[in-house]
Structure 1
């Protein structure tokens, strides 16, 4: 409860605009359903955990920082991480290992979940083998989210880890100080999932899912403002660039393994 109150206080920069109940989840089962969402994929971590991630460049995947730490709060080695773009029922559009990981230094694993941790809960994965834009077109970032903004979320999750689920309509209920609260339906495995706005034509990423739960029986999720964080992470990758340590893996169509665990944080 203390964590929830802390986050609510951090977001209390004005009256939250009512957005309304979010829509139900749509399973993207067929190849036609997945059209346009190929750049969203499942990140398999270690021996059984997974998160959701999104290509923002042919070789860069955006996700949540807590996804790349293990239960002992140690960083997971890049070679233990795989990104499968457009994974559905064992088939992926493309797959690559990871050569480099840049978690935002403002996120400290093991600390109690707080507004400060959510604000910095971002990571960029540099792929060992870039995925061509013709195979999975990367998404670009939108500006900072605002209260009352209509958004959608595409994610994997516990119990629905085999294929992407799309919530077509939910919304930003409060925004400020680098934080967003949303009424979107998320669960374990949704960490790192892109929050999209369609205000500029093709969907653009306004945030990524950090944590979530329920409030008075209604779903609530938290994300962060992205533009400055992503620029910080790109600079971090450039500073720390070295030889790839992961084995490149990329297949246009192939088979993906299962996943038994799902990363998530609940305030």
Structure 2
């Protein structure tokens, strides 16, 4: 993984809170709060998070028809935001991204996406323009992009009142970044370690909003492996197996919605682990504020002593921290949490998750309050990262 790309959070799948599309008005500057983030946010050709003409620098190349002005252009890897690495300003990596540029600013955020019926204006009704991508334009995805989905997007919508989906919710840290988390006790959730770490240090002072409904809960305590280092995680693959965190919340939501157990299925190696059907759901960046799920996807490779595994489930940014579950009779067990992507020269990105083998030994002690750090207290050295 290139250090320059890593500093731009290639593999980090947390999602910043951008607002929905805003109205169009005049202007021509970079006054939008989302300006200079490499993604065009003007409403006519971009995300719509900015007023018209207030994200000039990020939209300039797209308005001119795209070019190869990025330093990473023509390196064989698409570096546009979202479906690429994000190292380039949108529209400045034309040669590498040409095959996938049609995906730009299309998503599946409509509430009825993934139902095999196109409901965008002009072809149906019920969805806003550009929000029913898979149903209107197909599920095939080029293997050359970050969100390659192994050639096909197989995600579905699920009923949040049913098991195991009602265990899940959206976790928002103190810096406003969003991930997915899952109840594993009456007042404990599991997510990724990078979901509570920011450039300013640990921001576990967040909220957990259950997908099934009801009020959000606030986090009160957290626990990480003491060896997790945010800078090292973002710049190497060496500690991916430490990318998990346990969080205590101030309401016993597990009493209302239930919670999953934890289980280790990677100890017997790849062949045994592949036999399990995995169930996963998260708040993907391209599907709005609703869960999108993978049904009966599988582990591809147990990575070895670092307690990670590669999988074939269609995850992307926002899915970080989401649980992989397996059936256990009438119950469900978390067997891992989603972490990051790994570069794979000459091939598609490898999707990496942390096995429960890495965090299960700490769950009982955290639930019993024998370990943990109160929110607001930081441990270790504040991470510093090059920009």
1:43, 1:130 → 2: CA distance? 16
Which residue does the alignment assign to 1:142? 263
Which residue does the alignment assign to 1:168? 295
1:199, 1:233 → 2: CA distance? 18
8 A Cα contact 1:141 1:227, kept in partner = no
TM-score normalised per structure 1:
0.71
> 1:183: how far off?
1.3
2:329, 2:226 → 1: CA distance? 31
Deviates more, 1:92-101 or 1:120-129: 92-101
TM-score normalised per structure 2:
0.50
Q: Which runs of 5+ in 1 are unaligned?
A: 4-19, 246-267
Query: Quick one: which of 91, 95, 105 aligns to 2:226?
Result: 105
1:65, 1:159 → 2: CA distance? 22
Choose 1 or 2 for highest CA Rg.
2
Q: Which runs of 5+ in 2 are unaligned?
A: 4-149, 377-387
Higher relative contact order (CA 8 A, sep 6+): 1
1:209, 1:110 → 2: CA distance? 19
Residue 180 of structure 2 aligns to a residue whose secondary structure is: strand
8 A Cα contact 2:197 2:204, kept in partner = no
1:224, 1:44 → 2: CA distance? 20
Q: How many residues align?
A: 217
Query: Quick one: which of 209, 214, 224 aligns to 2:354?
Result: 224
Residue 203 of structure 1 aligns to a residue whose secondary structure is: strand
CA RMSD of aligned residues (A): 2.8
Does 2:289 align with 1:157?
A: no
8 A Cα contact 1:86 1:94, kept in partner = no
Residue 194 of structure 2 aligns to a residue whose secondary structure is: helix
Q: Please list, as runs of the form range in 1=range in 2, the aligned pairs for 1:25-64 lying within 5 A after superposition.
A: 25-28=155-158, 32=159, 34-36=161-163, 37-64=165-192
Q: Please list, as runs of the form range in 1=range in 2, the aligned pairs for 1:60-99 lying within 5 A after superposition.
A: 60-72=188-200, 74-78=201-205, 81-86=206-211, 92-99=213-220
Does 2:243 align with 1:121?
A: yes
2:363, 2:254 → 1: CA distance? 22
Residue 227 of structure 2 aligns to a residue whose secondary structure is: coil
Alpha carbons of 1:115 and 1:241: their partners in 2 closer, same or farther (altered >3 Å)?
closer
Does 2:367 align with 1:239?
A: no
Alpha carbons of 1:22 and 1:102: their partners in 2 closer, same or farther (altered >3 Å)?
farther
Relative to total residues, which structure has the larger strand share, 1 or 2?
1
8 A Cα contact 2:301 2:311, kept in partner = yes
Query: Quick one: which of 308, 312, 317 aligns to 1:188?
Result: 317
8 A Cα contact 1:23 1:170, kept in partner = no
Residue 119 of structure 1 aligns to a residue whose secondary structure is: helix
Alpha carbons of 1:103 and 1:61: their partners in 2 closer, same or farther (altered >3 Å)?
same
Residue 279 of structure 2 aligns to a residue whose secondary structure is: strand
8 A Cα contact 1:23 1:167, kept in partner = no
Alpha carbons of 1:161 and 1:110: their partners in 2 closer, same or farther (altered >3 Å)?
farther
